[in-house]
Amino acid sequence: MTSEIGVGLIGVGTVGGGVARALIERKEYFARQVGAPLVVRRAAVRDLAKPRSVDLAPGILTANVDDILGDPSIAIVVEVIGGEEPAGTYIRRALAAGKHVVTANKELMAKSGPELLAEAHRRGLDIMFEASVGGGIPLIAPLRRDLLANRITSIRAIINGTTNYILTSMAQEGTGYAEALAAAQQLGYAEPDPTNDVEGYDAAYKLAIMASLGFRTRVRPSDVHTEGISRLEAVDFRYAAELGYVIKLLAIAERTDGSISARVAPVFVPQPEPLAKVDGVFNAVQIVGDLTGTVLFQGRGAGAEPTSSAVVADILDLAHSLVLGSRERKYWDPEGDLPVESMDHVETRYYLRVTVGDRPGVLAQIAHVLGDHGVSIAAVNQKEANADEQTAELVVMTHRARESAMQAALASIRKLAVVMRVSSFLRVEG
Ligand code: NAP
Ligand code: HSE
């Protein structure tokens, strides 16, 4: 057996604590698999006085990251603090010091992954980031390696557990958004500041990473059209169910011949589809390859144990390469920089809920505007007339139409004197 491989942890929170526990508790098994013992030499945190979920030997914890970055006996640095900075600087410094890196940082990898990977490969090192997308679900390795022979044409995913938990509560318990969010926060599923999750940014980071790897092009988070769930109302979940749909925050990336599109938004999903059945904090990712057809990955996208499973797998992979004396595995470089289509080109069906004056001819005016813009109505229903206010709600389902046509029609509908407001507008992605 080769001599020990030193590991340095930057961060001992939810994920870092789980990683340290696994490395300590499964030490012998990992040593047998890798061919060398793995030893956590130092672990950096901000606050040395904070209680930890793992018992680390005295002298391991430090508040000084230099104790890791400057320690020549540490070969693998694990960054599990999150955010762009100082995580980015620490990773660059680790590479400059000749250390391999494992990270769970979706924001950093989505924004700067290609540059960081190029820097690592210039130095004959690797950055592994399985935990950055989908927690314990294997996704990065399949996209980097197992699906490489394919031309991937589509990625459709429920990739944020917090929002999926909130949407499942709203659908199954009939609760409003604020109530469902508060319950998720109480259970620890949603952060005190839930913006990153509920506004779709977390899902956009993860989609940018998956689409970049899957389509072998550069997809930046800013390329992803992003809408969150915070404006959804309980009534739309009821109407969705009546119409045979569920509402899910879907992350969708598609590749056509010369371009790609990427979007994150709450959408109607037909009830029979596999993604419609993914509830609570679970994640699922459906990838279509030309050789494989559709493959579906499903599981726990967050939490100490599932996420540590992904981080530790990356550590073991790197450690095994070190034992074998091999250089880094080839990173399958982007093949080009495919243009990203604007939302205007996307074509779906649509669900509209419009609050109107309850008067004769209103429906005809709305139908006329949609028709003028080439948007064909598939079904329409008048809901919940309010006798006091003399208003009614019209629910319209359309046939497939271009987003540009639909947006133009919406702008005209909003201008109609009989329309109080367009209360809801959701794409139907089935
Ligand atoms: P967390 O519980 O907040 O832990 C963060 C850890 O980093 C803490 O130990 C903190 O120290 C330490 N830290 C923060 N800034 C630091 C700095 N400047 N120097 C040294 N230590 C610092 O976060 P987490 O949930 O484990 O998430 C870590 C990463 O994993 C993030 O990139 C996240 O997106 C990703 N991730 C998390 C999950 C999940 O389920 N939680 C799932 C997938 C991916 P103190 O403890 O002293 O404050
Ligand atoms: N905040 C993320 C989620 C977990 O709710 O899915 C980490 O990726």
- 430, 350 Cβ separation under 8 angstroms: no
Q: With a cut of 80, say whether residue 333 has pLDDT above it.
A: no
Question: For 35-44, 82-91, 271-280, 358-367, which range has the lowest pLDDT when averaged over its residues?
Answer: 358-367
Q: Evaluate: CB of 82 within 6 angstroms of ligand 1.
A: yes
For domain 140-300, give its CATH number from 1.10.10.10, 3.30.360.10, 3.40.50.150, 3.10.20.440: 3.30.360.10
5 φ, ψ to 5°?
A: -110, 120
Q: Evaluate: CB of 197 within 6 angstroms of ligand 2.
A: yes
Which residue, judged by its Cα, is nearest atom 8 of ligand 1?
13
Nearest residue to 201 (alpha-carbon basis) of 264, 112, 253, 131? 264
Query: What CATH superfamily is the domain 344-428?
Result: ACT domain (3.30.70.260)
- 227, 266 Cβ separation under 8 angstroms: yes
Q: Evaluate: CB of 180 within 6 angstroms of ligand 1.
A: no
Spatial separation of the C-alpha atoms in residues 20 and 304, rounded to whole Å:
10
Mean pLDDT of 316-330: 84
What burial class does residue 223 get, using C-beta atoms within 10 Å of its C-beta: 0-12 exposed, 13-18 middle, 19+ buried? buried
215 Cβ contact list (under 8 Å, min separation 6): 152, 253, 255, 260, 338
Q: With a cut of 80, say whether residue 18 has pLDDT above it.
A: yes
Separation of CA 172 and ligand 2 centre (Å): 21
Spatial separation of the C-alpha atoms in residues 103 and 79, rounded to whole Å:
5
**Among 206, 248, 277, 330, the one annotated catalytic:** 206
Closest atom, ligand 2, to C-alpha of 135: 8
**How large a percentage of the chain has pLDDT more than 70?**
98
Task: Tell me the pLDDT tens digit for each residue of 163-222.
Answer: 999 999 999 999 999 999 999 999 999 999 999 999 999 999 999 999 999 999 999 999
Tokens describing residue 426: 């959701």
3-class secondary structure, 121: helix
Separation of CA 46 and ligand 1 centre (Å): 10
Q: Evaluate: CB of 15 within 6 angstroms of ligand 1.
A: yes
Q: Among 81, 128, 159, which is best to mutate for testing ligand 1, by the most ligand atoms less than 8 A from CB? A: 81
Which residue, judged by its Cα, is nearest atom 2 of ligand 2?
160
Tell me if residue 206 is catalytic. yes
Query: What CATH superfamily is the domain 5-135+304-324?
Result: NAD(P)-binding Rossmann-like Domain (3.40.50.720)
- 181, 191 Cβ separation under 8 angstroms: no
Spatial separation of the C-alpha atoms in residues 387 and 104, rounded to whole Å:
54
**CA geometry: angle at 167 spanning 175 and 142, to 5°?**
165
Mean pLDDT of 66-87: 98
Q: With a cut of 70, say whether residue 2 has pLDDT above it.
A: no
pLDDT of residue 139: 98
Spatial separation of the C-alpha atoms in residues 399 and 73, rounded to whole Å:
63
What burial class does residue 155 get, using C-beta atoms within 10 Å of its C-beta: 0-12 exposed, 13-18 middle, 19+ buried? buried
Q: Evaluate: CB of 12 within 6 angstroms of ligand 1.
A: yes
Q: What is the mean pLDDT of the chain?
A: 95
Q: With a cut of 90, say whether residue 380 has pLDDT above it.
A: yes
Q: Evaluate: CB of 212 within 6 angstroms of ligand 2.
A: no
Q: Among 9, 12, 21, 46, which is best to mutate for testing ligand 1, by the most ligand atoms less than 8 A from CB? A: 46
The ligand whose atoms approach the alpha carbon of 304 most closely is: 1
Which of the four pLDDT bands, split at 50, 70 and 90, describes residue 1? low
Mean pLDDT of 356-379: 95
pLDDT of residue 366: 96
Task: Tell me the pLDDT tens digit for each residue of 208-263.
Answer: 999 999 999 999 999 999 999 999 999 999 999 999 999 999 999 999 889 999 99
Q: With a cut of 70, say whether residue 329 has pLDDT above it.
A: no
Spatial separation of the C-alpha atoms in residues 201 and 228, rounded to whole Å:
8
Q: Evaluate: CB of 307 within 6 angstroms of ligand 2.
A: no
Q: With a cut of 80, say whether residue 264 has pLDDT above it.
A: yes
- 379, 394 Cβ separation under 8 angstroms: no
Q: Evaluate: CB of 132 within 6 angstroms of ligand 2.
A: no
- 289, 142 Cβ separation under 8 angstroms: no
Question: For 133-142, 285-294, 355-364, 402-411, which range has the lowest pLDDT when averaged over its residues?
Answer: 355-364
Domain ranges of the chain: 5-135+304-324, 140-300, 344-428
Separation of CA 263 and ligand 2 centre (Å): 18
Q: With a cut of 80, say whether residue 59 has pLDDT above it.
A: yes
